Amino acid sequence: MGDDFAQYEEEYIKRQTLNKKLDGKERQRQERIDSTKQAASIAVLDSWDYVVLEMIKREDLRIPMKMGTMRCNEAYLKLFCKGLISKRTRELTFDERERVQTFLDSPLYKQYKDRLRGLLTDEVNEQLKLISEIIDVKIVGWSGPSDDIFKNVWVLTDVGREKLTEKRNEVIELCKKYKENDVDFYRNIDDYSWAFPMMAIMGTNSVMMWDMRQELDMLHADVGFDGMGFG
């Protein structure tokens, strides 16, 4: 009887010790999540964050391939925590799902996935899993990269659209200076370097297309579409 009680007491102490360790790890993880969210919510947006915002508006499924996996997901984290993007709440239509599946079946995506699977380290996996937990979209799984992040999950919020429009207008003004060979543009070109990624993705012809695009955006919004894509 005494031996049984001693064994029970020993096992009970072990369980309590293990639970405390688990509680401690969970508490540390939650603190890490909270601090990461806080840092992302107050971080200043850089030019590449705006490029990701523009690509989400255009519903370009190749964002991680063009931007790089970590840089892209860090931008998702920042934009999400700042309330500039949100998860799509409705189901995709058949045509939308077909478009996504065509992309997932493409050699380009399969090569990307195989390449990333070979490059992922435990440290990078942990970073991506932390971002996944915050943005509530699976980025990596036990077998490597997850398809979920590519399934057209993001839409711009009203705040996100406003921020992007403001930045687009700034870029358009610089595009005008560039096309007009404005002396100020070349004299202060280093100060304008932040705009070059946006100028590249929008194209210098954006100056001529801008008014038309604004009208199309308003039309899409009126009929229930999200910007230049489907929303």
In the chain, alpha helices (H): 2-42, 47-57, 63-67, 69-81, 94-104, 107-119, 122-135, 158-179, 183-187, 196-202, 206-222
Q: For position 85, what pLDDT does the model report?
A: 96
- 86: phi then psi, degrees, rounded to nearest 5: -145, 165
Q: For position 228, what pLDDT does the model report?
A: 37
Q: For position 142, what pLDDT does the model report?
A: 55
DSSP assignment of 113-138: HHHHHHH--HHHHHHHHHHHHHHT--
The three-state DSSP-derived secondary structure of 136-168 is CCCCEECCEECCHHHCCCEEECHHHHHHHHHHH
Dihedral, CA of residue 24, residue 30, residue 34 and residue 40, to nearest 10: 120
Structure-block tokens of residue 191? 């100060």
Q: For position 140, what pLDDT does the model report?
A: 73
**One digit per residue, pLDDT tens: the chain, 231 residues?**
456 556 666 766 766 665 666 567 777 888 888 889 899 999 999 888 998 998 899 888 888 888 888 999 999 999 999 999 999 988 888 998 899 999 999 999 999 988 888 888 888 888 988 999 999 888 876 556 778 877 778 999 999 999 999 988 888 887 777 777 777 766 666 676 667 677 666 655 544 444 445 444 554 444 443 433 433
Number of Cβ within a 10 Å radius of residue 130? 17
Give Cα 114 distance to the centre of its chain: 21
Instruction: Say how many Å lie between the first and final Cα of the chain, rounded.
Output: 69
Number of Cβ within a 10 Å radius of residue 120? 15
Domain ranges of the chain: 1-42, 47-156, 158-222
Q: For position 230, what pLDDT does the model report?
A: 36
Structure-block tokens of residue 196? 């070059």
Q: For position 159, what pLDDT does the model report?
A: 96
Q: For position 95, what pLDDT does the model report?
A: 92
> CA–CA separation, 171 vs 190, rounded Å?
14
Q: For position 207, what pLDDT does the model report?
A: 45
Question: Is 44 in contact with 78 (CB distance < 8 Å)?
Answer: no
Q: For position 83, what pLDDT does the model report?
A: 95
